[in-house]
Chain A
């Protein structure tokens, strides 16, 4: 009998310890909050939760700016504490979905435009930010950037970055083989041929990530069929069976046939392909302007290489409808405010502040091109950056990345078909059919 009591006693003790452990945690959390809030003046203390995707290890430049802006903001608004949660890109996307399923989104977070944004808006999870657009930020955005974040006339996110995708090339390799920057697609094919004959991989492409191949298809589609036909096909008002769009798809396969891309591109990730370009093993690399820091200011990459990177616009096709100043690109990530946030006013104020400061600091600090207008004339910037910045202002049209523009389901089909097209597992005709079918199905 005594033993029985002892056992019960021990068990109770165990449970008590476990329970105390739980309690301890929540106590700690509470303490921290009140400690942070204690800096505030008399006004009510508020914590704004901010989830973003610039971890220190991966995006050092951006991470530094975020911390800078937050600490400045907290200094100016002593009653507000910004609590950060930092995740990697892919994890971030997954966590956002899980949080939205339980309606526990952070007060402020990062989102992508168009197709990505839509389900969140339909689920009434993001709050409209139009009042910010007509306030302090009025006229500050580069035209065409906030539109991608609008659904039914309301804007649900404020973009931070704006990107276009040039073809970067290795000047040293081009000089070595006496190549000139191609103006027309015929010249481009000649460049590919020369490089390939000399045992240099012409183009670094990591098509395991699929959107990388999509960029190449989109440019060919744009140059062959023109921006309008491509946009219409993506939105569903036109068709991918358009003769010129099919031609663009078959042109992808003839590029593959002429060994234009690095060996095994369908099994390589974008990072692996990029390292081929960084090691001067591949001569060209098409990527968004978010890669600019690696070719300008990133000290981890040898200066000799950085100095030898140039860029050119995707060449025009003879008889094609596209214009050389037409780009594939679009706004990068933006900020949203959660509809169910308890501190909506503070969150909005923080977003407004963040977007404005980001515009100034991201140029010099991270070398990315912001979505807000910046006067670069007074700043000392790398030439490559300035050149691309100017190109962006001259752009005749900018077509948003297809996988961003389409709804999730259609985007998934598009990306799979891209991989199949590059791997020659589908014909250009079938490729077009699958696209039309997926887009007309909607999500």
Chain B
């Protein structure tokens, strides 16, 4: 078998089908999207080549930058919430009673589909019948806000279910990383008189750093291209106050029939994601990685 695996032709034969598939359904569409972005096209009739006009319009489009700002805010919030997830994972990885139960509780939102979560939270946020406002009224708030209808609140109201949805995912990753740290290190530290906080900060955190870097990239890029919950819950409204880059792209392409412009936004979004990923990798690069040994 080893011989077979070292044969270059066989390797190519194994890799080729999936490579072709990925080319056909991922990379070729990316190139095409970039090309469509150079055209004026309503998605139906003939395309008209207009060069970089769409991209120039994009730079000047206030609505786009507005939605980009919202995406950026989501990225900041999801990165900050990683700290909370890490703390939870540290608690869960400690040998405490009942931890198993909590581990499952946190994972459940991850198993639900986005649309189901959206429907659930729509009910929670319902201005008159929702659990949230009923609760607020019962404890004395006479006139609680209509969360999804107020331009100043809607974005934060959306962040909560989004962060809640992904909490389990990140906690799981952190949990696995922390469990990977040899128990002997912790025991040695304890013998040396380190308290729980010192163990977490000086031992667990540095050893989980590689994983943390990956989750930062995942959280930031995931936030920049986020779409589904927002689409179902507010559709970018009211009046664009919860519009993010991906939903703006959808509206331009599928509602305003401007496929050329929509494609330009999509391609721009891809470039932004690539740049951000690169920056994060650069910023968090460390020369010598710590080994468990």
Residues of A within 8 A of B (CB): 3-4, 7-8, 11, 15, 93-94, 97, 100-101, 119-120, 122-125, 201, 207-208, 210, 262-268, 272, 276, 281, 408-409, 411-412, 416, 419-420, 422-423, 425, 443
Contacts and interface: CB of A to CB of B under 8 A. Distances in A.
Contacts of A268: 126-127, 148-149
Given A11-B14, A408-B42, A267 B238 contact: yes
B10 to A, nearest CB: 7
Given A4-B3, A119-B42, A266 B238 contact: yes
B257 A119 contact: yes
Contact of B256 (A15, A264, A412): A412
A425 B255 CA distance: 22
A91 to B, nearest CB: 11
A123 B45 contact: yes
A409 B208 CA distance: 50
Given A11-B13, A408-B256, A409-B258, 17 more contacts: A7-B4, A15-B17, A97-B43, A210-B237, A263-B128, A263-B146, A265-B149, A266-B146, A266-B149, A267-B127, A267-B238, A268-B126, A411-B256, A416-B240, A422-B238, A423-B149, A443-B42
B-side interface size class: 35 or more
A123 B43 CA distance: 10
Contacts of B13: 8, 11
B3 A208 contact: no
A3 B255 contact: no
A98 B116 CA distance: 26
B43 A101 contact: yes
16 contacts: A4-B10, A7-B4, A101-B43, A119-B42, A125-B44, A208-B234, A208-B235, A208-B238, A266-B146, A266-B239, A268-B127, A268-B149, A408-B42, A408-B258, A409-B258, A412-B256
A265 B128 CA distance: 11
Given A123-B44, A267-B234, A268-B127, A420 B3 contact: no
B151 interface: yes
Given A264-B148, A267-B127, A408-B42, A423 B255 contact: no
Contacts of B154: 267
Contacts of A412: 251, 255-256
A409 B257 contact: yes
Contact of B44 (A11, A101, A266): A101
A419 B146 CA distance: 15
Contacts of B251: 412
B25 interface: no
Interface of B: 1, 3-4, 7, 10, 13-14, 17, 42-46, 122, 125-128, 146-151, 154, 234-235, 237-240, 251, 254-259
Given A268-B149, A412-B251, A419 B238 contact: yes
Given A4-B4, A100-B44, A408-B257, A264 B128 contact: yes
Given A264-B148, A267-B147, A267-B234, A7 B256 contact: no
A11 B11 CA distance: 12
Contact of B239 (A11, A276, A423): A423
Contacts of A8: 10, 13
Identify the 8 closest CB pairs spanning chains A and B, nearest first.
A264-B146, A264-B127, A267-B148, A267-B149, A123-B45, A408-B257, A266-B238, A266-B149
Given A11-B14, A419-B239, A272 B126 contact: yes
A120 B44 contact: yes
Most chain A beta carbons < 10 A, residue from B13, B44, B234: B44
Q: Is the interface of A mostly helix, strand, loop or mixed?
A: helix
A265 B10 CA distance: 62
Contacts of B148: 208, 264, 266-268
A311 to B, nearest CB: 25
Contacts of B146: 263-264, 266-267
Contacts of A15: 17
Contacts of B234: 208, 267
Contacts of B17: 15
B215 to A, nearest CB: 32
Contacts of A100: 43-44
Contacts of B149: 264-268, 423
Contact of A423 (B44, B238, B254): B238
Contact of B3 (A3, A276, A409): A3
A423 B256 contact: no
Contacts of A119: 42-45, 257
Contacts of A122: 44-45
Contacts of B235: 208
Given A263-B146, A264-B128, A408-B257, A420 B239 contact: yes
A423 B151 contact: yes
Contacts of A94: 254
A97 B256 CA distance: 12
Given A4-B10, A265-B149, A419 B237 contact: yes
B128 A262 contact: yes
Most chain A beta carbons < 10 A, residue from B7, B154, B256: B256
B235 to A, nearest CB: 6
Contacts of A208: 148, 234-235, 237-238
Nearest to B10: A7
Contacts of A4: 3-4, 7, 10
B254 to A, nearest CB: 6
Nearest to B45: A123
B7 A408 contact: no
A408 B255 contact: yes
Nearest to A408: B257
A410 to B, nearest CB: 9
A410 B259 CA distance: 15
Most chain B beta carbons < 10 A, residue from A93, A100, A101, A267: A267
A15 B17 CA distance: 10
Contacts of B147: 264, 267
